[in-house]
């Protein structure tokens, strides 16, 4: 598997603010995090069964901490 070509905030790379920047290039700048957040919300709204599964898993994880 090839190594990922990481991008960093402030380097002028045009992939900042994209899901590609967040996912494939491991950038965690504010623009890339926002792109990931929006894409995740879109996915969850388009796939209600995944949203329910995710909610159950988060609920179980929260209650297991006690």
| pLDDT tens digits, 5-60 | 888 888 888 999 999 999 999 999 999 999 999 999 999 899 888 888 888 988 88
The closest alpha carbon to 11, from 2, 25, 24, 23, belongs to 25
pTM > 0.85: no
How many structural domains comprise the chain?
A: 1
Residue 36, number of CB atoms within 10 A of its CB: 17
More confident of the two residues 65 and 13:
13
Residue 24 domain boundaries: 1-66
Give the rounded distance of the alpha carbon of 24 from its chain centre.
11
């Amino acid at each position: 598997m090839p190594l990922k070509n990481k991008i960093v905030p402030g380097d002028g790379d045009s992939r900042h603010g994209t899901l590609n920047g967040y996912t494939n290039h491991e950038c965690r700048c504010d623009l890339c995090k926002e792109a990931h957040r929006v894409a995740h919300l879109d996915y969850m709204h388009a796939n209600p069964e995944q949203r329910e599964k995710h909610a159950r898993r988060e609920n179980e994880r929260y209650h297991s901490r006690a």
